Amino acid sequence: MNQRFFLRLRNCVAIWSLILVLAACSSAGQLVTTSEAPSSQKLQVVATTTLIGDVVRQVGGEHIELQVLLPVGANPHSFEPAPQDAAKLSQADLIFANGLDLEEFLEPLIESAGAAERVVYVSEGIEPLSLAEEEPAQEAESHAHSHGTSDPHVWMDPNNVMIWVENIEKALSANDPAHATAYAANARAYRQALQDLDAWIREQVAQVPPEKRKIVTDHLVFGYFARRYGFEQVGAVVPGFSTLAAPSAQELASLEAQIRQLGIRVVFVGTTVNPVLAQRLAEDVGAEVVTIYTGSLSPAGGPAATYLDFMRYNVLALVSHLR
């Protein structure tokens, strides 16, 4: 049995444990209802990832009370929720999630909390890329590692995050019409910041000659970025949308051959991923491993503490190592 099977089994056990905790607490009236009025009249909001949380914060501003499920540095593909996470979902007015099968842990918790009507999938309305569109020049065996059928990493293109902003604004305004004007103003200002970011990215990547715009990563995370800005995702250590599976020897051999043939000098690895396999591959082919941010922001005060900083950091890393 493979590593992905055991990870799914472990996650299922953890999730069902949480469901039992949530059910017990709900029956006692401890999570679903409370005899005391909340200390704040602000909208109670939960976001799954730090990236979504930052964008929700930009739109919601001072009128929401925000909690983020995944801590900084957590891998959204393999995150295991804790009992307090079930409580957060139960008490939330709104739950913002990416969707596209990114948060595999989330659905059982939502169902047990009866919170389906409070979930907003921020990627709704984005045209997803499929594995067939992104699959690099590696063996067809990579289909076994696909994370669902669609690429969930939509945030790698700020134009997609503009759709996030629209979905977030609509949900906040519908649930808190008293502050709809403020949400609209915040969303308008942040959309402008995203447009400015998109223009800056285009200026930066223009420094990279077209023949050098080839990316190798730990898993297939740069599809939307590549499509928007004229890059090619030529290979990945795990040739799929998830980091949960282990590549076969045949797949690694195919990737090594591809790297040598194309003269790839850099392998980009996200901060939420164990870099050992990528480091071994890079050593074998004489390439450098460069750390980037993919599934999580950095801690506050770090180089990628907001989504805008996250994208700037990654673009500068790509440009400086590829040009």
Residue 22: predicted pLDDT: 41
Q: Which domains does the chain have, with CATH numbers?
A: 3-32+40-195 (3.40.50.1980), 204-322 (3.40.50.1980)
Q: What's the pLDDT tens digit per position in 197-222? A: 999 999 999 999 999 999 999 999 99
**Local structure of residue 137 (DSSP, 8 states):** S
Q: What's the pLDDT tens digit per position in 165-201? A: 999 999 999 999 999 999 999 999 999 999 999 999 9
Buried b (16+ CB within 10 A) or exposed e, 247-275: beeebbebbbebbeebebbbbbbbbbbeb
Q: Say if pTM beats, i.e. exceeds, 0.75.
A: yes
> How large is the average pLDDT for residues 141-147?
45
Q: What's the pLDDT tens digit per position in 210-262? A: 999 999 999 999 999 999 999 999 999 998 888 777 899 999 999 999 999 99
Q: What's the pLDDT tens digit per position in 84-95? A: 888 899 999 999
Residue 227: predicted pLDDT: 97
Given a cut of 80, whether residue 322 has pLDDT beyond it is yes
Residue 33: predicted pLDDT: 28
Q: What are phi and psi of 68, to 5 degrees?
A: -115, 130
Q: How many CB atoms lie within 10 A of CB 39?
A: 7
Given a cut of 80, whether residue 136 has pLDDT beyond it is no
Pairing of strands 43-47, 94-97: parallel
Do 113 and 22 touch, CB atoms closer than 8 A? yes
Q: How many CB atoms lie within 10 A of CB 148?
A: 16
CA 207 to centroid of chain Cα atoms: 27
Task: Give the side-chain half-sphere CA count within 13 A for 64.
Answer: 33
Given a cut of 80, whether residue 147 has pLDDT beyond it is no
Residue 40: predicted pLDDT: 54
Q: How confident is the model at residue 131 (pLDDT cuts 50, 70, 90)?
A: confident
